[in-house]
Structure 1
């Protein structure tokens, strides 16, 4: 009888483990598609803006609101609402954000004025900030170690890279067939509603951890003074400022190129996105086997050299080096984000993710704007804006050199590895 009872217990435990594994697989899939969908809309802006200029007779500065407004909304949402995932749970936060995002997307079909579309982008930015912080916090809940957390984050950002390729391609396809660019948002809204159903049905893991402080906006604002949160946030901002230079201004910089690689200049942005996406999938494998501080130093140095070479040798070198930088950028942001979040207990992952997201979105909006202003001050040549981006890349490399030599987070990450990833359970 004892053996029979023991066998039943083992069988029940095995079934529970299988159920937990199934739930975690679904959660990962849900997270991957969430990042893919919002990348489809945010990174398709470069293709939509020329249509806006033609349709509404806008200046470049006014049309640029399609980029600046959602980025600002994402940043504000991250800093002001990032604590929701810690206070009310990952599931409710993700579902709330997805529903709001889907509604904003569907309303594009009902609008016809530029101001209305910009308002919808502001709402969608708030929604992205809500479900993204929930998803980023969720990655910690389903990770068994800090190393797995970083690897998963790279895979998530890999799917974001796929969305960054798919979105512009879908807009180009719609326009080529006489269909309005607005249907990109309708398609994204439809996918989001499917994600809402999946998110509602999945069993989410219980947030583990020995430390669960009072979670509110005051705690979020106080976290901006934490040296780890601030350090990783500034690193993320420098990276994003460097990266945004590529997808906002590289096509303009290469516009006058007439050398032997004209085809590469024409498809430079696509090449960059493909290398960035492919590198992120590779990053999940590399970071499981190499010391993360060394990888970050090598890759940040390679990015800086790509920019420096482009500035020293001119557009003839930039046509090769700037798209190539995407391969080295691939692991930078997800790893910075992962390690920054991992410096805090799981009960605060949503809050710190919101803080880093704020600095990320601020840099995504301000970086290209400063580059444009600097280029205009120097006579309108986009090359001068890339001088500023090269400074961003150099500062990022110096930061990664300090991180590798001093490794200031080693003891903290080791302590949290022991306290936060020692055991997991599922609802």
Structure 2
């Protein structure tokens, strides 16, 4: 009887993990396709680069606000209810794309999409802590989650490109995501989630999340993740625009540069667990951030042909940065606070994803070339490398992570 109960529990955990993986897959499929959609928007609505970048930063701003102000719901209402609310709102927003054709209408829907993502993503991030036995398993699971995110990031642009080549609207991507989201809602509804023990004298409120905003460890990891995200989104938002007029010897590589980037990023994330088991995570973060910085510096200091290869190559080194930093940041706190800290980290993640491309668009418009925006992204990559070096030398959160190594809960 005991073995039967254990088998049922393990099967349920596997189902919950797969649900979590597929949620991130769906999120990436829509969010990372924006680089392919932006040139179409510029052409259709006669937009500047800064205006068109709103298609990216609008959902990111609302992901940030949702993570900050609604992230505590994962701790208060429970992971299941929070995830169902987020997925339902996401599906509704996706289906509403079918009935409008105005740029500002799309932006309104993207705001709802962002708010929904902020809700179900904080629930999913907190859930990973619930089903992880220790911080090492947490980091490994996060890398697998981001591996599925990477696959979705490859499929989204490919699907949109297929639609556009065949004369179909990019909006079909959102309609398909809406249908997929409804199926995920059904799976979430039928799944049994682990119970979370809450201290009676510590009610979960928005005030607790605001208090978390002053925690130096939450802010430190948020800063590192923010710098990483600003460096990464520069690739999938603006790299297609950087190479759009390139007709040189490596034009074919430039055409598929975004697909190459996402492929390398996804492959690296599935290998993340293997690498982290063999090397200290601090060493991995510094080595990979140094390689990212080198790719950017080479791409900007050499000619366009070098950028065609070096910018996509950076995806291989970006692969483990976000999931590992996210995992370590969340693991610094007890499980009952995972929803709140995930919301804080998500706030800075999405805020960086919104502001970074916007600043790049403004600088590109000012100087008349998207390459100038990439100079800013190179600066972000350099700051990330320096922060990783500080973490390697000082390791300020070591005592918190050591406490959680034996038991996350």
Per the TM superposition, whether the score is higher than 0.5 is yes
Residue 113 of structure 1 pairs with residue 102 of structure 2: yes
1:56 positional shift: 3.5
Structure 2 residue corresponding to 1:104, chosen from 93, 104, 108: 93
Whole-Å Cα distance in 2 between the matches of residues 176 and 312 of structure 1?
A: 34
Relative to structure 1, the CA distance from residue 130 to residue 410 in structure 2 (aligned partners, 3 Å threshold; closer, same or farther) is: same
What is the count of residue pairs matched by the alignment?
409
Relative to structure 1, the CA distance from residue 49 to residue 381 in structure 2 (aligned partners, 3 Å threshold; closer, same or farther) is: closer
Map 1:29-44; keep pairs closer than 5 Å: 29-44=18-33
Which shifted more, 144-153 or 364-373? Answer: 364-373
Map 1:315-330; keep pairs closer than 5 Å: 315-330=304-319
1:258 positional shift: 4.5
Structure 2 residue corresponding to 1:271, chosen from 260, 277, 292: 260
Residue 125 of structure 1 pairs with residue 114 of structure 2: yes
Whole-Å Cα distance in 2 between the matches of residues 58 and 413 of structure 1?
A: 47
Structure 2 residue corresponding to 1:299, chosen from 274, 288, 295: 288
Residue 247 of structure 1 pairs with residue 236 of structure 2: yes
Residue 380 of structure 1 pairs with residue 356 of structure 2: no
| Contact persistence 1:212–1:348 (CA under 8 A) | no
Whole-Å Cα distance in 2 between the matches of residues 135 and 353 of structure 1?
A: 9
Structure 2: unaligned runs, 5 residues or longer: none
Relative to structure 1, the CA distance from residue 112 to residue 307 in structure 2 (aligned partners, 3 Å threshold; closer, same or farther) is: closer
Structure 1 residues 64-122: Cα deviation after superposition (integer angstroms, max 9, x where no partner): 22111111111110001000001110000001100111111111112232222211111
1:55 positional shift: 3.5
Tell me the TM-score normalised to structure 1 length: 0.92
| Contact persistence 1:208–1:420 (CA under 8 A) | no
1:125 positional shift: 0.7
Residue 395 of structure 1 pairs with residue 383 of structure 2: yes
Structure 2 residue corresponding to 1:231, chosen from 216, 220, 228: 220
Structure 1 residues 177-215: Cα deviation after superposition (integer angstroms, max 9, x where no partner): 333222211111111111111101111112258898332
1:173 positional shift: 2.0
Relative to structure 1, the CA distance from residue 253 to residue 178 in structure 2 (aligned partners, 3 Å threshold; closer, same or farther) is: closer
Whole-Å Cα distance in 2 between the matches of residues 212 and 244 of structure 1?
A: 41
Whole-Å Cα distance in 1 between the matches of residues 372 and 168 of structure 2?
A: 37
Residue 207 of structure 1 pairs with residue 191 of structure 2: no
**Match for residue 65 of structure 1?**
54
Tell me the TM-score normalised to structure 2 length: 0.96
1:363 positional shift: 0.8
Give 1 or 2 for the bigger CA radius of gyration.
Answer: 1
**Match for residue 403 of structure 2?**
415
| Contact persistence 1:69–1:118 (CA under 8 A) | yes
| Contact persistence 1:279–1:327 (CA under 8 A) | yes
**Match for residue 129 of structure 2?**
140
